[in-house]
Structure 1
Amino acid sequence: MAGHSAEVEVVLVKAGRVKIRYPAELLSDDGAVVTVRAAWAGGGVRDFGFVRFEPGDVFTEHYRRDRWYSVKEVRAADGTLKGWYCDITRPAAVTAGEVVVEDLDLDLWVSADRSLVLRLDEDEFEASGLADRDPQAAARAREALDALERTARSGGDLR
């Protein structure tokens, strides 16, 4: 059937437990980056103050096998770009039908016009104990956040 797209399940793991899993449409996989599209999976409205995620929002999500982050481009139901939500994660593990990522607490929000670049959850990251348990992973996570912030502020491609 021409044009039929594959479904995958995105699985977000945090502190060894599944935080959320949701279906997504597989758009592409070039060996380094898996790109999927999914509806807002949060159920209801989530108002962060700087952005609202709500039913109808569409997330185009880029999961990387080669870097310590994933980037979600967020659009309203009418196609208007809201911005990019960047999760600091271990590199994605991709198997048949699943994209599994381990969330390392740190996040970056970049508004559509890039006037707002916010580092998020640094307190959660410190409280997670990752720096003690796995100092190398904690260092990679901080480096990934710094690199994404530089890219966002310079206008570069966030994927």
Structure 2
Amino acid sequence: MSAKSADGPATVEVVLVKAGRTKISYPAELLADDGTRVSVRAPWAGEGVRDFGFVRFEPGDVFTEHYWRDRWYSVKEVRAAGGALKGHYCDVTRPAELSGGRLVVEDLDLDLWVSADGTDVRRLDEDEFAESGLAARDPGAAAAAVAALDELDALARGAGLGTLLA
């Protein structure tokens, strides 16, 4: 279903929660919501430049973000201000909840980066995940998070993340 109205594009507030606290929130244009997947677009919401060494997120970058109500991850297409694809940043999260104009996801620390050409696939923050204590607090959620990272990694190295976004 389209998210546009007679008044222009609909917006939502994306809220990323980590360890019970809001890590970041930002407005995003609601592109689509089919009842399972919610897609939004927003400019880079961080402060200044974030240089990971293998990619830089910076003012002017545009993120097209895809969240699922039934999957334990989100996939974010990252483009430079000029439109060139930088790659895909995937967050392992609990399934997304959209209510009252707020799209809320809980970050579970695990991440995956896939370069634009698909040749650089990196699992990120596995040490943070291990230190988070989630495996002891909520073994089911921890197992779902690891399975989600494995699924994303296999897709990235196989058919590609585009199969999720079609």
Normalising by structure 2, we get a TM-score of 0.93
**Which deviates the most, 36-45 or 2-11?**
2-11
Is 1:90 aligned to residue 94 of structure 2? yes
In structure 1, the partner of 2:114 is: 110
Choose which of 101, 123, 144 in structure 1 pairs with 2:127. Answer: 123
Query: Do 1:114 and 1:155's aligned partners in 2 also have CA atoms closer than 8 Å?
Result: no
2:47 counterpart residue number: 43
Equivalent-residue separation in structure 2 for 1:39 and 1:45 (angstroms) = 13
CA drift at 1:3: 6.8
Q: How does 1:6-17 map to 2 (within 5 A)?
A: 6-17=10-21
Q: Can you give the 5+ residue segments of structure 1 that lack an aligned partner in the other structure?
A: none
Write the letter of the residue equivalent to 1:116. D
Structure 2 counterpart SS, 1:59:
strand
Runs of 5+ in structure 2 lacking a partner? none
Which residue does the alignment assign to 1:65? 69
In 1, Cα distance between the equivalents of 2:34 and 2:8?
Answer: 18
Partner of 2:78: 74
Aligned equivalents of 1:79, 1:155: Cα separation in 2: 24
Cα distance in 2 between the residues matched to 1:17 and 1:10: 14
Q: Deviations over 1:64-113 (max 9, x none)?
A: 00100001000000110000000000000110211000000000000000
1:28 aligned partner:
32
C-alpha RMSD of matched pairs (Å): 1.1
- Which residue, out of 141, 147, 153, partners 1:149? 153
CA contact (8 A) 1:25 1:37 kept: yes
How far off its partner does 1:43 sit?
A: 1.6
Give, as a single letter, the amino acid of the residue that structure 2 aligns with 1:109.
W
Letter in 2 for 1:124: E
